[in-house]
Amino acid sequence: MKLEPGARTIEKRAGRQAVAVAVVIFTVREGRLSVLLIHRAAEPFAGRWALPGGLLLPGETLDQAAARKLTGETGVSDVYLEQLYTFDLPPGCGGPRAVVAYFALVDEAQVRLESRTTWQPAWYPVSGVPALAFDNNAIVEYALRRLQAKLSYSNVVYALLPERFTLTQLQRVYEAILERPLDKRNFRKRIQSLELVEPTQQVERSGAHRPARLYRFARREPLTF
Amino acid sequence: MKLEPGARTIEKRAGRQAVAVAVVIFTVREGRLSVLLIHRAAEPFAGRWALPGGLLLPGETLDQAAARKLTGETGVSDVYLEQLYTFDLPPGCGGPRAVVAYFALVDEAQVRLESRTTWQPAWYPVSGVPALAFDNNAIVEYALRRLQAKLSYSNVVYALLPERFTLTQLQRVYEAILERPLDKRNFRKRIQSLELVEPTQQVERSGAHRPARLYRFARREPLTF
DNA sequence: CCAAAAGTGTTCAATCTACACCCATGC
DNA sequence: GCATGGGTGTAGATTGAACACTTTTGG
């Protein structure tokens, strides 16, 4: 974290509050589900990769703190964000007592990574995440399982796609998350029977080899069935 | 909370730690799913019912704190306990910043309620829970939905039943949690196809109108499929 | 002898899975 | 003209839901 004037004061006061948040930010890049990691410059765990996170500011709720971290790293707001689980942190160091982990879904096209001088953010495919600081690898695993499970009963993937998209693009996202290929016809049948998406009048032409119908999500808010 | 010598010291030190736990303790009593509540004698919310809970002790993990609260109220240990969700607490009062909510399943036959002079614990059917202190009603609702969902893919109900039980008893527990009657034959088919239980040689005679086979759970640890 | 709970199968509908070919376009 | 990706239907297997009668015992 960059030390601006006053930052150390906040850090010191907040240290006693003993709650931190961490966010697993997912996107689909080059057909692979990827996670945003930051490279720590400061101790503890200097030189290791870690999830974006940090202490609550005074008066802030947990959700607000997670949203702030998300926006701070990616520049996007108003995307999907869900609380995952709360983990203990090792005692000592006077650091926070627990981390409340969140996961977020963002459309890569809307992301502008902050480039900091002291620590760099970068995307890693979930299947190639390096050893992380704290117990952050466990958090990523947990987030992945939750996301996979949600595909079957929720519309959360809307947050990973642009406003309009083809069914093939949608299928690619499902395949990236589930890490296995899906049958094209069965996929389209299921999606249409769930009525998650609706066709638009527009047609994709650029780069497509055959004109493709564009769809949009019937709702762009989270649905839980 | 009763103030014993030293309690105020702990409270003051722990208040800055800013994390509390709360436990929704479920049991099945008289055919109804019920929750353990305690009657608060002290401010804030004196005279209101609330979930058992409190601050972490120094060096304690979240799970340990929840287990301590559970054992303290019911006398049982080694039962099912699972983290639910972490809620914000309203600011001000210098109290904790967040509550990590848990839910627990106990067999009523093993419970010995503590009877305190300052505050009384009591069982309430989930459908008749009064207005609780803090946002505790939301926690109970959340716990109920989670428990209902878990029935279809987990064996957690083992913690609500004695070692040996009849299939009809098992069905009564499912019905109490789902709050709807189940078809006897379909229920038995599903349970047996999941291989959650195995028959024993023993037979139930007392009170039964026809001798009934006793079953036990194939595993008495949590299984998640 | 009757009330109360235990035990036991079949049918139908809905859902899921596997699977192959033609078409329009860009190059 | 050919490589690339878009689009479409059917048959078989599995799963879930509805539904009724007989047996044994205690009182």
* pLDDT of the residue at B117: 66
* pLDDT of the residue at A14: 43
Average pLDDT value over all residues in chain B: 89
B83·A85 Cβ contact <8 A: yes
Render the burial of B161-171: b for 16+ CB within 10 Å, e for the rest: beeebbbebbb
B145 touches chain A (CB under 8 A): no
B168 band by pLDDT with thresholds 50, 70 and 90: very high
Average pLDDT of the residues in B6-33: 73
Q: What is the pTM of this model?
A: 0.90
Range from A112-121, A162-171, B10-19, B138-147 carrying the lowest mean pLDDT: B10-19
pLDDT in tens, A180-215: 999 999 999 999 999 999 999 999 887 778 899 999
B61·A88 Cβ contact <8 A: yes
**Interface with chain B: mutation pick from A12, A16, A17, A152, highest number of B CBs within 10 Å:** A17
Nucleotide nearest residue B212, measured CA to C1': C6
A6 band by pLDDT with thresholds 50, 70 and 90: very low
B129 band by pLDDT with thresholds 50, 70 and 90: very high
* pLDDT of the residue at A93: 65
Half-sphere exposure of B94 (CA within 13 A, CB side): 6
Q: How many beta carbons lie within 10 A of that of residue A205, not counting itself? A: 9
Range from A8-12, A39-43, B22-26 carrying the lowest mean pLDDT: A8-12
Q: State the nearest residue by CA to the C1' of C27.
A: A209
* pLDDT of the residue at A17: 53
3-state helix, strand, coil in chain B (%, to 5): 30, 30, 40
Res A157 pLDDT > 80: yes
Report the SS3 class of residue A195.
coil
Res B7 pLDDT > 50: no
B184 touches chain A (CB under 8 A): no
- As a whole number of angstroms, the distance between CA B120 and CA B11 comes to 21
Average pLDDT value over all residues in chain A: 88
Query: What are the chain A neighbours of B103 within 8 Å (beta carbons)?
Result: none
The spacing between the Cα labelled CA in A192 and the C1' in D6, in angstroms, equals: 16
**Interface with chain A: mutation pick from B60, B84, B87, B97, highest number of A CBs within 10 Å:** B97
* pLDDT of the residue at B201: 93
B86·A86 Cβ contact <8 A: yes
The spacing between the Cα labelled CA in B18 and the C1' in D17, in angstroms, equals: 50
DSSP H helical ranges for B16-61 = none
Beta bridge partners of A38: A50, A121
* Proximity of residue A200 CB to strand D below 7 A: no
- As a whole number of angstroms, the distance between CA B50 and CA B63 comes to 20
A62·B16 Cβ contact <8 A: no
Q: State the nearest residue by CA to the C1' of D17.
A: B186
A83·B88 Cβ contact <8 A: no
Query: What are the chain B neighbours of A83 within 8 Å (beta carbons)?
Result: 85-86
Average pLDDT of the residues in A44-70: 93
Of B19, B83, B85, the CB nearest to A19: B19
Res A9 pLDDT > 90: no
